[in-house]
Structure 1
Amino acid sequence: MSVVACCESYLLIGCHEGLILVNPSTRIYRVLPLVYVPSYSDYVRYGMCHCLDDEFNNDFKIVTIFRYDKGHYDNVDIVREVVVFSLSTNSWKTVECKRNGRTWIDDPVLVQNHLLVMILYDGSHYGRKMRIGCFDIKAERWSNDVLLPDILLCEIETNPTQKFLDDYYHLGVLDGRLRFSCYDMNKSTYNIWVMKDYGVKESWVELMTIPRQDVSHPIAYRKGSSHELLCIPKYSGKYLWYNIREKQFIETVIDGDGFDTSDFSFAYICKQSLLNFPGGLPIPSLSKEQEVDHDDDYEEDEEENDEYLLSSCKF
């Protein structure tokens, strides 16, 4: 069982039985109908959004994107398939199934109901190029790519290897805004960029620059502070506070019953919400002894992280 996507106040959990939508604040869950994903797919990713507009009647939509080879021997096509689930209809539907030559680099992230993923594709004269692909979950279609800053485009249009891209480029969300992390080979530093206005290329700002040995992905600000960030090093399960002004990392410990921050741990940030989705069921209560321990841990965690719930899942 593992977390495969998150959206504001909700988590999407994958298990052998299928997918489970969870509100960790109210401990309400709903099991979703199974979606067929070929076992031979070499890429499977999930994303979801909560549509609060009157037009969508408080609907949840979940996107499954997977890729697989189709054909035999020399006639093999790479096929990308996109399937969308609507909670209002309680059903899945395929919105795309076509040949696609793009290479997917990272897990999708959600910003303003748009699912964003870093993609690598073949250019006509400059080798391989990297862009941010955008899937509009409400409209259920691909829209215009999100442009990276010009200086970064110059650096990544030098035909880098796939391993290099996996190691040094990363998409994320920070305080509701799109965040892009990249390694500068010339300066041997790791740069963190944030897009202040979604979709506006000129709104990219460089948030901070850190040494390569301290490479981390920021996921949240400390309460009442605009210069202290909770970060996760890419290849470690440890959590760090980073002070932008002093340029220092301080390791922090997150305790909890059964909480394991191994090298294969990932964190998801959820804002607390009492708004539940229709058809949800309460998660079975723990024993009285476990409930006491859980309450103590929750109060300590709430004091540290304010309105955020930090969920970690071991893979």
Structure 2
Amino acid sequence: MVASCESYLLIGCGFSQLEGLILLNPTTRIYRVLPKVQVPTWSNSVYYGMCHCLDDELNGDFKIVRFVQENGTTEVIVYSLRTNSWKLLESEKATIESIWNPVLVQNNLLVRICNGSGQMKRIGCFDIKAERWSNDVVLPDIILCEIDSNQTRDGQYYLGVLDGRLCISCYNADKSTYSVWVMKEYGIKESWFKLMSLHVEGPEEIYHPIAYRKGSSHELLCLPNYSGKYFWYNIKDKQFTETGINRHGLETGYLSFAYICKQSLLNFPGGLLIRSSPKVREVDDDNDDYDSDYDDGYYYSYGNCL
């Protein structure tokens, strides 16, 4: 699994996701194999992001962005479902560092831009609809100071999305604290606020926030850094409770990430239907050969399995 957006998952096939990409709606089991695109032999880092870009309520395009980086230069290539083709854009001279994939907020893919020594300089913004780099996301001084202090030792910081809002998680090794900041209004520097702060003994006690519990604004689904279990975290009580969700098949200590995918019957054109038999058949947008009795909810899927 290399990316997710709304109701769709992007799956990389083969070793290091270099042999092909598949777009999938896990609710309807409709998938589409994307045209292959060569990864440069000089690359050691490949990141993906995707977005459903709407021109209006009825028309739009589904786009996938691939960032390939090496030696301070980042190559950007964009796939359009409408044209079923990839387009190479100009290279950007910036090192993109991301433990996981770029995060999507309001049609923008946000990435951590770092200098040559790995220190975070800014949050870069790639406008998928316009297919170009846009204005950076501005961080307030209080977060910048926390990030700067982290970088002097074993500090860690991550970008994420909570309820459609950009968030940044910071582990401060000097103070043994882990905090999560959220940008309430995208693009507004003054809208950042601290959602939670914990005292931790080390990076193994970091719990990455994934999503709010349905109907709750103070309970978070969290993924520990090095653990096989998911937890609910109550912001008010500052208490963790087990969810009963385990990363089956993964050994404890294996670091992975969860992708969120909403259930939807909306399909993309030119897809194939996965059946219990090896055979697949082509379907169109008007196909109604599905069980439509689905409840509202989410799929939680792992970075290396479906």
* TM-score, normalised via structure 2 length: 0.83
CA contact (8 A) 2:113 2:123 kept: yes
Note the C-alpha offset of 1:261.
4.4
Q: Flag the 1:313–1:40 CA change in 2: closer, same or farther, 3 A.
A: same
Note the C-alpha offset of 1:104.
1.8
Alignment of 1:238-277 (within 5 A): 238-254=229-245, 259-262=248-251, 263-277=254-268
Corresponding position of 1:75: none
- Letter of the 1:22 partner, please give it: L
Q: Flag the 1:41–1:55 CA change in 2: closer, same or farther, 3 A.
A: farther
Note the C-alpha offset of 1:128.
5.2
Corresponding position of 1:102: 95
Corresponding position of 2:115: 121
Which of these residues, 46, 49, 52, is aligned with residue 50 of structure 1? 52
SS at the partner of 2:257? strand
Which of these residues, 126, 132, 135, is aligned with residue 126 of structure 2? 135
Whether 1:310 and 2:300 are equivalent positions in the alignment is yes
Corresponding position of 1:205: 193
CA contact (8 A) 1:129 1:159 kept: no
Task: Return the alpha-carbon distance in structure 2 between the equivalents of residues 233 and 188 of structure 1.
Answer: 16
* TM-score, normalised via structure 1 length: 0.81
CA contact (8 A) 2:53 2:60 kept: yes
CA contact (8 A) 1:238 1:261 kept: no
- Letter of the 2:75 partner, please give it: E
Unaligned runs of 5+ in 2: 279-293
CA contact (8 A) 2:125 2:133 kept: yes
Deviations, residues 243-268 of structure 1 (Å, cap 9, x unaligned): 11111111222279xx4344244211
Note the C-alpha offset of 1:282.
1.0
Which of these residues, 218, 222, 225, is aligned with residue 227 of structure 1? 218
The structure with the greater share of residues assigned to helix is 1
Corresponding position of 1:282: 273
Unaligned runs of 5+ in 1: 70-77, 288-301
Note the C-alpha offset of 1:55.
9.6
Corresponding position of 2:75: 81
Corresponding position of 2:176: 188
Which of these residues, 88, 93, 98, is aligned with residue 87 of structure 2? 93
CA contact (8 A) 1:130 1:153 kept: no
Task: Return the alpha-carbon distance in structure 2 between the equivalents of residues 157 and 190 of structure 1.
Answer: 14
Corresponding position of 2:2: 4
| Percentage of matched positions with identical amino acids | 63
CA contact (8 A) 1:104 1:117 kept: yes
Q: Flag the 1:278–1:83 CA change in 2: closer, same or farther, 3 A.
A: same
Alignment of 1:17-28 (within 5 A): 17-28=19-30
What value does the CA root-mean-square deviation take over the aligned residues? 2.7
Note the C-alpha offset of 1:87.
0.4
CA contact (8 A) 1:28 1:276 kept: yes
